Structure 1
Amino acid sequence: MLEYTLSPASPSSLVDNVTARIRDAILNGQMKPGDHLVERQLAARLEVSNVVVRDAFTRLADEGFVVRLPRRGTFVSSLTPDEVRDLGGIRGVLERYAAELAISRWTPESHAALAEICDWMDEAVAAGDLKRLFELDGAFHEGVWLAARSPALTLLTHNLHSKLSRYMRYGVSAESDVVADIPNAHRRLLELLVIGDPVRAGDAFHHHAVGSSQAMIERMLG
């Protein structure tokens, strides 16, 4: 069993808390693809019951962060470069549709919410806070899905984003040019939504999703 730096969970919302702690350990690379997660050992380390960890595993499996194999246990899920490319392509199609749909249902409140997220991204870049920055990246896209007002689309895109999200941080440093451009890249996407051209916005969101996946693959391959 590998040693992980996990502090004890707080007594409130235990399953949510434990799920978030394990998810974050996967996202920041402490728990790596293929690692065997032993329920009783994590329960002891987090000072919770086995049932709480088991429920957290169920949620993480639904989100695509872990896989549960009969008679073998729970493992951090992994993706091959080809799988990342495939998921990125699918996400690109969904992001194009989300942008087109969001434009048809656009409101000033949608604009204000996404603009604020871009401002928060600037703050995260200035602070060198990659965890916060990539959380805001996800929040921006979720804001577009919400603006589209399609629960089915939101569910599909959220699941795809969850599967890919841990690879977004992989190999990225706070000082990289990629990180510095993230707020402006999202401002450009927002500008196209505000302009209201569904073709240009759809193309831009598709390119953004596919390009992000390609960048992940390049980092995975070293």
Structure 2
Amino acid sequence: MDDFLKVNVNEYLPLRDVVFNTLRQAILKGELEPGERLLEVQLADRLGVSRTPIREAIRKLELEGLVKMVPRKGAEVASISEKSLRDVLEVRRALEELAMTLACQRITGDEVTRLRRANHAFSEAARKKNLIDMTERDVDFHEVIYQATGNQRLVQIINNLREQMYRYRLEYIKDEAKRAVLTQEHEMIIQALASRDPEAGKEAVRRHIDNQEITVTRNLKGKN
């Protein structure tokens, strides 16, 4: 295992969360590759921690779909499969359409302004070609919409799925040709919300997610 894997101590976070974030970022950035085994002893030695936070981090990563447990082998970094992509996006598509319907009814002028700022922040991250920042800014954009629904149970359900969606977001954003398209799709979503048009809003998020599925599926096939 290479020297990139180091714990960045954060005095405001418990050690188990710091270890989890370290391993998670390594997987999302491709520093820990699909199929690579995650050996507790080796990881604990490399990060300078006990096995307990490593074990807890691996358990959380498994829940996110970033790690899978293989019989007689243990934990390894999960591959991105077309089936897992399709399963996650089918659920996301339904939840996003519901969120758009509710947000079109309830969104405030201040929230529309926040959406425009979030999309501008995404565009700036894209200009700087910062993949992780772009992914986080995309998360921020959609979070404004979720909060605008005023339905905290829906927000909770979407947040439970968000970590599983993160990897596919990052994979989509890696395709440089699609970054301008993403900004345009965000603009269409904003226009629908500003005009309180739920049908246009649902169509915009369907196109947004369909394009993600098409692009990531094509990229996955290109890797095989």
SS in 2 for 1:169: helix
> Cα–Cα, structure 1 residues 207 and 160, in superposed 2: closer, same or farther, change >3 Å?
farther
SS in 2 for 1:206: helix
Deviations 1:136-175 (A, max 9, x none): 112211221122133332233334342232233338657x
> Cα–Cα, structure 1 residues 205 and 173, in superposed 2: closer, same or farther, change >3 Å?
closer
Corresponding residue of 1:153: 154
For residue 193 of structure 1, report the CA deviation from its aligned partner.
0.9
For residue 68 of structure 1, report the CA deviation from its aligned partner.
3.7
Gap runs ≥5 in structure 2:
none
Corresponding residue of 1:93: 94
Q: Say whether the 8 Å CA contact 1:64–1:159 is kept in structure 2.
A: no
Q: For structure 1, which segment, 21-30 or 177-186, has the greater mean C-alpha deviation from structure 2 after superposition?
A: 177-186
SS in 2 for 1:219: helix
Corresponding residue of 2:200: 200
Q: Say whether the 8 Å CA contact 1:124–1:132 is kept in structure 2.
A: yes
Q: Say whether the 8 Å CA contact 2:44–2:54 is kept in structure 1.
A: yes
Corresponding residue of 2:216: 216
For residue 221 of structure 1, report the CA deviation from its aligned partner.
0.5
Corresponding residue of 2:22: 21
Q: For structure 1, which segment, 157-166 or 209-218, has the greater mean C-alpha deviation from structure 2 after superposition?
A: 157-166
1:216 corresponds to which letter in structure 2?
V
Corresponding residue of 1:178: 178
For 2:88 and 2:63, locate their aligned partners in 1 and report how far apart those are by CA, in whole Å: 16
Deviations 1:91-137 (A, max 9, x none): 11111111111122212332232222111112112211121111111
For 2:147 and 2:89, locate their aligned partners in 1 and report how far apart those are by CA, in whole Å: 20
For 2:114 and 2:106, locate their aligned partners in 1 and report how far apart those are by CA, in whole Å: 15
Corresponding residue of 1:108: 109
1:200 corresponds to which letter in structure 2?
A
Q: Say whether the 8 Å CA contact 1:34–1:76 is kept in structure 2.
A: yes
For 1:150 and 1:172, locate their aligned partners in 2 and report how far apart those are by CA, in whole Å: 29
**TM-score (norm: length of structure 1):** 0.87
Alignment size in residue pairs: 220
1:67 corresponds to which letter in structure 2?
K
For 2:172 and 2:116, locate their aligned partners in 1 and report how far apart those are by CA, in whole Å: 28
SS in 2 for 1:31: coil
**TM-score (norm: length of structure 2):** 0.86
> Cα–Cα, structure 1 residues 71 and 103, in superposed 2: closer, same or farther, change >3 Å?
same
For residue 4 of structure 1, report the CA deviation from its aligned partner.
6.0
For residue 74 of structure 1, report the CA deviation from its aligned partner.
1.9
Corresponding residue of 2:55: 54
For residue 188 of structure 1, report the CA deviation from its aligned partner.
1.9
Q: Say whether the 8 Å CA contact 1:65–1:162 is kept in structure 2.
A: no
For 2:22 and 2:161, locate their aligned partners in 1 and report how far apart those are by CA, in whole Å: 20
For residue 206 of structure 1, report the CA deviation from its aligned partner.
1.9
For 2:192 and 2:173, locate their aligned partners in 1 and report how far apart those are by CA, in whole Å: 27
Q: Is 2:8 the partner of 1:9?
A: yes
Q: Say whether the 8 Å CA contact 1:92–1:207 is kept in structure 2.
A: no
Corresponding residue of 1:136: 137
2:170 corresponds to which letter in structure 1?
R
Q: For structure 1, which segment, 44-53 or 151-160, has the greater mean C-alpha deviation from structure 2 after superposition?
A: 151-160
2:75 corresponds to which letter in structure 1?
T
SS in 2 for 1:162: helix
Sequence identity (%):
29
Q: For structure 1, which segment, 194-203 or 63-72, has the greater mean C-alpha deviation from structure 2 after superposition?
A: 63-72
